[in-house]
Structure formats: C-alpha cells, structure tokens
Amino acid sequence: MDLDIQNKLFVVTGATSGFGKAIADSLLSEGAKVIINARGEERLIKMQEAHPDQVEIISGDITTDATISSLINMIGTRKLDGMLINAGGPPAKSFISTELGDWDNAYKNILRWKVKLTKSLLPKFIDQSYGRIVYIESASVKQPIENLVLSNSLRLAVVGFVKTMAAEIGTKGINCNIIAPGYHATPAMERLFKNKSETQGITTDEARKIFEQQTKVGHLGKAEDLASLATWLLSPSSSYVTGQTIAVDGGLVSNSL
C-alpha cells in the first residue's frame, strides 16, 4: 500500500528505543522526512547517519518547555504532516506506595508536556487544514494494570483531552488518535519484569512468563507490528478515523471503557 507520505515531514518523540524507534524507522522506510527527538544524542546521530537526507535531530527531554521550544523553532514555517507523541512511562508503583511527589511528577511526565506540545503545534495544523496526531499511551487506559497506578490514572487524562480535542477540530482536516499498547518486547517491559520479580520473590524470567500468560496470544508483542498501525494513522489514509483509542495488546484487555 502506498501511504502517500514520501518526503512529507513528521515529528517523532522518544525516537531512539521501543515504540518511538520502530515508528520512526517505519516512517523512514516509506520515504518520509522525520524530526526525531530523544534525550540520548549519540543514538540520534546514528539514526541520522543512516538516513542523512531524511532525518533531523533534536536532543533533549521533551517533557521540558525548553526542548519543546527548540522543536517548534526547528519546524519553523514548514508544513508538518503529523507527529507521534511518545515518551517513557512513570515508575511502577501501587497506590499505597506512592507519595504526593510521585503524582506531581506523573502529571508533568505524562500529561502536561503533551498538552503544551499539542497546543503549540495545533495552530499550524489548523492553518494547513491538515494534520495527523498519534499518542502512544497504554492499555491501562482501558483496563488498570497492577502496580501501575500512576499510568492507570494520568493516561486517562490524556485520553480525555485528546477525545475532546478531536471533536472540536474534526472538521478542520486534523485527526487525533491514541494507541494503547499492551505488553510488548520493549525496554519499558524490563522494568515491569524487575518490579514483579522483586515484589513476588521470583526470577525475571518467571515474571516475564506471567505477563505473557495474561495475553490471549501467549507472547509479547513486537514494536514493529504496532509501528505499522501508527504509520497508517499518521498517513492521509486514516482520514475517517479520529478520536479513537485503539488497543494493540494481544487480547490483554478483557473489558472496554
């Protein structure tokens, strides 16, 4: 399928590992031009060296105002076709083990920067009468995940603002959607394996098997499979899909909100 994104410009945050890396690679394979962001400059440079005519880099913590401002300046007056909003999640904790500071940090790291980045670039999309925005959240927005109370809570706020925004701008050629991943073979899952092994006194391999058994397919997902969906949602082909939260979870979610 020709997704009609060759030479079109996209932003991908959290682009050097996990879902961000897989989605950036997928866009590049389709001939798109991509501004990639992450905190680790070395890996960004390697990606740019592999695709010198397609990749621009901006290193820094995307949850900070300074990095967001730098990104906006880099885009400048160019047409931006879409952006993939993605970053690491909060630490694995139960509600009882959290402190108020954890909630303050979760607000900043899960919600605040996404609102700021979206509001900063939304006028450009409106002026263009075109745009695609995809947010990578978690299957926890559809079904709470054990020991992820911060993610379970604050990611629902992201869903709330994205669905509301999608309704407000639906006639302006801008689509906004959320992908809710379940358990995938990414670095983020390693933290969950470690947390479960420590709390239950089991090995990390045993912890991994527990997570695998919670899915209907019996194994972890691949970031590359999710990336194919994200790339389609970022393309003109997704013109009739907006305001949706799409679970990619191997059947993990057994109910729907």
Q: Which domains does the chain have, with CATH numbers?
A: 9-182+224-248 (3.40.50.720)
Q: What confidence category does residue 7 fall into, taking pLDDT thresholds of 50, 70 and 90?
A: very high
What is the average per-residue pLDDT within 44-69?
97
Q: Tell whether the model's pLDDT for residue 228 goes beyond 60.
A: yes
Q: What confidence category does residue 241 fall into, taking pLDDT thresholds of 50, 70 and 90?
A: very high
pLDDT in tens, 189-217: 887 788 788 888 899 889 889 888 988 99
- Cross-strand partners of 35: 11, 56
* Contact (CB, 8 A) for 252 and 139: yes
pLDDT in tens, 121-137: 999 999 999 999 999 99
> In this predicted model, which residue has the larger pLDDT, 251 or 32?
32
CA 98, 101, 107, 109 torsion: positive or negative?
Answer: negative
Please give the angle made by the CA atoms of 19, 184 and 47, to the nearest 5 degrees: 30
What is the average per-residue pLDDT within 52-63?
97
pLDDT on residue 196? 82
pTM of the predicted structure, to 2 decimals: 0.93
pLDDT on residue 255? 63
pLDDT on residue 186? 85
pLDDT on residue 257? 47
Q: What confidence category does residue 256 fall into, taking pLDDT thresholds of 50, 70 and 90?
A: low
Q: Which helix (H) or strand (E) element contains residue 175? A: strand 174-181
The answer to which of 52-56, 134-138, 253-257 has the lowest mean pLDDT is 253-257
Nearest Cα residue to 183 out of 135, 221, 146:
221
